[in-house]
Structure 1
């Protein structure tokens, strides 16, 4: 099973990218110009996002750059996994003016921490952490309550 995490973006970024795509297609039907290519390029850049994918079956991970649902990145083997961490973090990016506690599921290995899942639902975070820890045969550290599971 592959777990994917993509860094959140503001909603206005997607709206702007869609407007640029529409502008590109309207302009290309009228007259082809460099401006329309520039609009298309800016829209692609705005739709690009960074993230991480974790494949627990093959015990590997990759840092990705994604355009829509197409992920690009080199797979690395996941060795010396120490623990799975559930941590709370304040998030303002996609939730308007209210700060919301996101629960982050992270995998710790070789002095690195990979964020592999984010949710506001406590049970989803625990279920995902349990699935990952079972597949990787490591313990779970819940930093929201400071419990080792």
Structure 2
């Protein structure tokens, strides 16, 4: 796959569960520790995300999952969705897969009528922070984080 080649972005189905779990667990374990909230989202994404009004998309390269991202439904006060669980396989990093997933999820959020998106991250994840900023997310303060590893929060007004 060339650096500018577009991958196929598809809606989540249960056949991508292992990829969703494994891609996310790998990066979390590399930089942090898995938390209870991680297990809740990754062990049963259909129940924890989709059935609650959220959304997951998968980036495929020749049918092989190489990236994932979720929109976790929030209560709309003040955020409609959290952009979460963005993960790209190590061999596919640097090929704009994360950008394509973020763009696809922002488009889906708009389609679903969202007004504001929220992200939690950590400043040590410089490539991710750069992607979020490039997509228009701005740093905010004052929102209670879901994970102990969070030291930066961002929002995007759609």
- Structure 1 length-normalised TM: 0.29
Structure with greater proportional helix content: 2
Structure with greater proportional strand content: 1
Q: Which protein shows a greater Rg?
A: 1
- Structure 2 length-normalised TM: 0.28
